[in-house]
Each structure stands twice: as structure tokens, then as C-alpha cells.
Amino acid sequence: MSPYSVLALAAVALSSLAVATAPRSVLAFLAFQGALLFVYLARIPTWLRVGLLGVALLLLMPLIGAFNGYYLEVATQVGIFAALALGLNIVVGLAGLLDLGYVAFFAVGAYTWAIFGSPHANVIFGGGFPLAGAWFFAFLFVGLFVAAVAGILLGLPVLRLHGDYLAIVTLGFGEVIRVLANNLDKPINLTNGPKGITPISRPPAPLGLPYGEYFYFLVLLIVVLVVLVNRRLENSHIGRAWEAIREDELAARAMGVPLVRMKLLAFACGASFAGVMGVLFSAKQVFINPESFTFLESIGVLAMVILGGMGSIPGAVLGATVVTVLNLQVLKGLSLWLNELKNAGVTVLGYSLADLPTQFEPAKYERMIFGIILVLMMIFRPQGILPARRRQRELAHLER
């Protein structure tokens, strides 16, 4: 056994132990995530890598969830955003179409299930709703389909636009969807406006599994599927056509790449992942309203893709993990820590922390995090943390 294999085993074992002994410590959970990243990157045999990751995600993570349910929630959120980042990665990373309204497709999926999976549909269609929880699985496909259609509808008019104009139009599209969700409670009450829709049915959990664990496994399953689909796409003629379009539209066209079809396909593919996750998100949350689908979310997903590396599948997953954990744990952890210090009456350099203004809450600064990530990555490492191999070569070529 190579030293790396021993290290990887030890890292996973020790960090899980750390979480088990100190279930409230953010650092322990971060160490666990770091161990997983190490397992992914270290030079160890493939069977060991897959085995360790499998054990960690299928067995250890739910166990950790038993110690501290919040971590399971964090892991589920990471999964949801990983799928979104992978979807956006197709549009932005592979096809090079900067989509700033991506969360609109997530919203479309979420509202699709929210309307039919809650008593709200009775307002529109009379009686017979909500649909039973088992319909959820059918709606995963309905959400996929509806979001893909929305993607094509957005794609059709913007096909002629390039680069930054396209970005602004997709931003507008995202805002339009949000404003519609906010205001379509009249003349026909479709979305129930800002009040949102609740309660949304959940699929029945098998074997009496708690919902936290159940949704974690569902999300994990979908993320694995999405990763597999992405990998197949990347190396297919479709993926190569997308990358050709990204690099040089004119040349791609001259080589016989059907631009219209490929661009629409990129929008539809990216959107469909978001649609599926939207359906799952609405079932998991039981309640949705337009607040979950703002421009901020779109930029958050973009920051994940950029951080990991445009066009890179492991990058998108890593980016989703880092950004989500920063938001849900590090910023919130800072807020809690600061409050504890304030209550304990700690002074720093003669300044009592209790005198800090009450409006100063570190948890609220996610925009700043997104902003810093975007700017620093663009200036210092535009290829991302885990760059796609092809992309890496191109950027190296540019810097020369």
C-alpha cells in the first residue's frame, strides 16, 4: 500500500472521528470535507478512491447526520447546488454562453411541483389536489421537460446575441421570471405571489427513513446521475461542438457545427438539470416563494462554476461545496462566534466587542463573498481551482 493510500484512509477515519467526538465543531466538519477532497486528488488506486468516497458519502455522512442533523442539511444543500453548478457549467463552461438568469429554470422546476403537489392547484383547476407524494417521481421528469422547454424559449430569441449582450438578456429573463412569480397571483392565482406556496407534498420515504436522510440520498443519486451525464456529454460530439462554439463561432460553423441546434441544446440541457433540482428542492423545503430565486442565487451558482473552473466537472462540484459551506457554515459560524464573544464581554485592544453595532452581522455578507471570489478568480486564476484539461491548455497559451 502506498503512503498516500494510508494517508487517505487515515484522513477519512480521523476526520469522521473528530466529527463524532465534537459534533458542534465547524472545524471538524471542514476537516471531513477536506479529507474527501484529499481522497479525490491523492495518487491512490482508483478502487480505493471510489471505495473511500462511496463509504464516506453513503455511510459516514448519514452517520454524521445522526450526530448533527444540520450537517446533513448542509450536505444536501451542497448536492443541490452541485447539480445546479453542473447544469450552468454546460451553458457557461462548455458552450461559453454566459447565463446570468440561470436560477429562473430552477424556479420553473420548483413551481411545477409546488403548484401540483400542493392544495394550491385546487384554486386553478377546482378539486383533486394535491397529487399524492408518489407523483413526485413523475414530476422529476415533468420538471426536467418544462425547464428544458423554458431553456429553448429563452434560447430562441437570444441566439443572435453574443457575449455580454447575451449575459444581460439572460439577466433580464431571470428577473422577468422572478417578477412573474411575485405577481401572478392575479388575474389567475398561479403562484400565490410573494406569500409563496405551502404545504408541498413529499414522496413517501421507504423503510421509515427520516426525511433528512431520505432527501440526502435522493440528492446524492441525482448528483451522481448528473455527473455521469455530464461526463458522457463532455466527450461526445455534442460536447466537442459546444467547446468549438465557445472558442470560435465562425470556425465552428465553417467546420459544419450546427450552431442553432447546439446552442439550443446547451440551454435545454443546462436548464433541465436545474428543473429536476427545482422539483426536488420544492419537495424538500415544503414551502417555496420567489425569494429563493433571486439574481443573487444566479450569481452564487456562477461563482461556484468560476471558482471550480469553467468547463470542469470536479471543479463545479468543488465550487458548489466551497461556496455553500462558506455561506451556511463559515459566515453563520462567524456570526455565532461573534455573538458569543459579545455576550461574554470580550474586549479586543481595549475595544469592547459588545459595542459593535447590532447591524453588523457577518452572516449577511454572502454577496461580498461571491464578489471577492469572482474578481480574484478572474484576475489571478481564470481557469479555476480544478481546471478542465482543455481549458487549462488554452489559457496557458493565452498568457504566453
Partner 1 sequence: MDFQLLVDIFPQVFLDGIILGFMYALIALGYTMVYGVLEFINFAHSEIFIVGAFVGVELLLGLKSVGLLDGLPWPLVLVLALVAGMAASGLLAVTVERVAYRPLRHAPRLIPLISAIGISFFLQDLIRLFESLWRNAFNLVYPTIDVLNVRFELTQTLDVSVKSLVVIAAALLMLWALHVIVNRTKIGTAIRAVAEDQAAASLMGINVNRIISLTFLIGGAMGGAAGVLFGVQYGLINPYTGFIPGLKAFTAAVLGGIGNIPGAMVGGLVLGLLEAFAASYLSLLTGGAFGAEYKDIFAFSMLIVILIFRPKGLLGEIVRERA
CB count in 10 Å sphere of residue 249: 15
Minimal distance, residue 7 CB to partner 1, in Å: 36
How many residues are recorded in the chain? 400
Nearer to partner 1, 56 or 377 (CB): 377
How many CB atoms lie under 10 A from the CB of residue 395? 15
Q: Is residue 189 a contact residue for partner 1 (CB under 8 A)?
A: no
Stretch that binds partner 1, among 106-114, 203-211, 260-268, 297-305 (CB under 8 A): 297-305
C-alpha 177/C-alpha 174 separation (Å) is 5
Using the contact rule CB under 8 A, the part of the chain among 53-61, 183-191, 217-225, 255-263 near partner 1 is 183-191
Question: Given candidates 195, 253, 364, 393, which one binds partner 1 under the rule CB under 8 A?
Answer: 364
The residues pairing with 347 across neighbouring beta strands, listed in sequence order, are: 352
List phi, psi (to 5°) of 351: -105, 120
Q: How near is the Cβ of 249 to partner 1 at its closest, in Å?
A: 8
DSSP 142-208: HHHHHHHHHHHHHHHHHTT--HHHHHHHHHHHHHHHHHHHHHTTSSS-SS-GGG-B-PPP-PPPGGG
> For residues 128 and 357, which CB has a smaller minimum distance to partner 1 in the complex?
357
Q: Rule CB under 8 A: say whether 316 interacts with partner 1.
A: no
Instruction: Please give the Cα distance from 307 to 376 (Å, whole number).
Output: 9
Q: Is 175 in the site for partner 1 (CB under 8 A)?
A: yes
Q: Does 346 bind partner 1 (CB under 8 A)?
A: no
Query: Strand pairing of 351-352 and 347-348?
Result: antiparallel
Number of residues that bind partner 1 (CB under 8 A): 50
Closest contact distance (angstroms) between CB of 73 and partner 1 is 25
Alpha carbons 284 and 275: distance in angstroms, whole number: 14
The reply on whether position 169 binds partner 1 by CB under 8 A is: yes
Q: Which is nearer to partner 1, 187 or 350 (CB)?
A: 187
Is 359 a binder of partner 1 (CB under 8 A)?
yes
User: Which of 107, 288, 85 minimizes the C-alpha distance to 199?
Assistant: 288
Q: Which stretch binds partner 1 (CB under 8 A): 14-22, 164-172, 263-271, 340-348?
A: 164-172
Q: Give the cell for residue 356.
A: 459593535
Type of residue at 136: F
What dihedral do alpha carbons 226, 227, 228, 234 form, nearest 10°? Answer: 110
Binding status of residue 378 toward partner 1 by CB under 8 A = yes
Is 341 one of the binding residues for partner 1 (CB under 8 A)? no
379 binds partner 1 (CB under 8 A): yes
Residue 368 is a binding residue for partner 1 (CB under 8 A):
yes
Taking contact as CB under 8 A, which single stretch among the options 142-150, 198-206, 330-338, 376-384 is the one that binds partner 1? 376-384
User: Is-cis flag, bond preceding 187, omega within 30?
Assistant: yes
Cis (ω within 30 of 0) for the bond into 387? no
Q: Which is nearer to partner 1, 55 or 168 (CB)?
A: 168
Q: Does 255 bind partner 1 (CB under 8 A)?
A: no
Burial-class residue 53 by CB neighbours within 10 Å (0-12, 13-18, 19+). Answer: middle
Show contacts with partner 1 in window 128-157 (CB under 8 A). Answer: 157
Residue 371 contacts partner 1 per CB under 8 A: yes
- DSSP lists the bridge partners of residue 288 as 197
The answer to the question of residue 105 lying near partner 1 (CB under 8 A) is no
C-beta of 360: minimal distance to partner 1 in Å?
A: 5
Q: Where on the chain is the footprint of partner 1 (CB under 8 A)?
A: 96, 98, 100, 157-158, 160-165, 167-169, 171-173, 175-176, 179-180, 182-183, 186-187, 248, 295, 299, 302-303, 306, 356-360, 364-365, 367-368, 370-375, 378-379, 382, 398
